[in-house]
């Protein structure tokens, strides 16, 4: 996320009292969490909310995959060593299931577009399995209740 986008996000959430911030340990998410942490909340880094690993597709042009199929929950296609979408969602669901039993009222989660796609599946259902356009964009906020 760009620094300016993070600063705008900080303004949007400045009046929300978070118990904690949970963040992906990837650098871009960590940097965003530091910028938006207006109340100096504890930041907990959790590997389970890292972006979906693209494996040996890393650094390759998007055209090497069918992006719609790559984000199809029901696909049988495996692109190289990329993380299987069902295993990716399972990792995110495990994180959310654990968060349910914690004693928090409000948690800010700083993660990635792919993670937000899995959140969509968790809270809104798998539906037709097509997740390409179900993720949040940089600086977008979505509120869910566990």
Residue pLDDT, tens place only, 28-77: 999 999 999 999 999 999 999 999 999 999 999 988 999 999 999 999 99
Check: CB of residue 63 under 8 Å from CB of residue 76. no
* CATH number for 103: 3.40.50.1240
Q: What is the number of domains present in the chain?
A: 1
From residue 72, give the alpha-carbon distance in Å to each of 15, 130, 140: 37, 5, 22
Tell me the pLDDT band of 3, cut-offs 50, 70 and 90. confident
- What pLDDT, on a 0 to 100 scale, did the predictor assign at position 2? 82
- How far apart (Å, rounded) are the C-alpha atoms in residues 92 and 80? 21
Is it the case that residue 129 has pLDDT exceeding 80?
yes
Is it the case that residue 140 has pLDDT exceeding 70?
yes
> What's the residue count for the chain?
146
User: Does residue 140 fall inside a structural domain?
Assistant: no
User: Does residue 24 fall inside a structural domain?
Assistant: yes
Is it the case that residue 1 has pLDDT exceeding 80?
no
- What pLDDT, on a 0 to 100 scale, did the predictor assign at position 41? 95
Check: CB of residue 112 under 8 Å from CB of residue 29. yes
- What pLDDT, on a 0 to 100 scale, did the predictor assign at position 62? 87
Beta bridge partners of 45: 23
- What's the domain range around 111? 3-124
């Amino acid at each position: 996320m760009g620094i300016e986008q993070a600063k705008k996000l900080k303004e949007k959430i400045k009046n929300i009292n978070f118990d904690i911030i949970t963040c992906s340990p990837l650098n871009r998410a960590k940097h965003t969490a530091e910028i938006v942490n207006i109340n100096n909340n504890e930041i907990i880094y959790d590997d389970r909310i890292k972006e979906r690993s693209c494996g040996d597709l890393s650094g390759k042009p998007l055209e090497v995959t069918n992006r719609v199929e790559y984000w199809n929950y029901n696909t049988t296609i495996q692109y190289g060593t990329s993380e299987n979408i069902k295993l990716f969602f399972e990792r995110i669901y495990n994180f959310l299931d654990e968060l349910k039993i914690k004693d928090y009222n409000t948690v800010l989660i700083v993660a990635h577009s792919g993670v937000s796609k899995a959140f969509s599946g968790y809270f809104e259902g798998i539906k037709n399995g097509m997740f390409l356009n179900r993720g949040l964009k940089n600086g977008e906020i979505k509120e869910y209740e566990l």
